[in-house]
Amino acid sequence: MAFMRSPVQPHEYQVADRVEVFCDHDDKEKERVRGWLKGVVAQVDNKLVAVQFQVNIYLTEGWMVPDRILWFPTTSKDIRPIKRAAKKSE
């Protein structure tokens, strides 16, 4: 009997992971820009990852997201883990 394997995930996210997301958001000067923004994983299920932000974010159609949470498929290329800098030895 043949069974299907679950698809291999490029990265498995956990709640409280720090990530970067490519989205429309406000920059420090309150100007709307499209680029990478740091956020925190708020919820994870088998298909989607919810990321919460500290600044205003926008949908593609231009609407501001009131709760500052965006959902992404786990396989999305618009979400990536933050790479931590290596500690320097003194």
Please give the structure tokens belonging to residue 65.
Answer: 């997201």
Report whether pLDDT(22) > 90. yes
Residue-by-residue DSSP string for 22-64: EEEEE-TTS-EEEEEEEEEEEEE-SSEEEEE-SS-EE-TTS-B
Report pLDDT for 35: 95
Tens of pLDDT, residue by residue over 3-19, are 666 655 556 899 999 99
How is residue 71 written in tokens? Answer: 């959902």
Closest among 67, 46, 69, 53 to 18, alpha carbons compared: 53
* Percent of the chain whose pLDDT exceeds 90: 64
pLDDT at residue 61, rounded to an integer = 80
- Domains of the chain, residue spans: 18-75
Return the half-sphere exposure (C-beta side, CA atoms, 13 A cut-off) of residue 86. Answer: 3
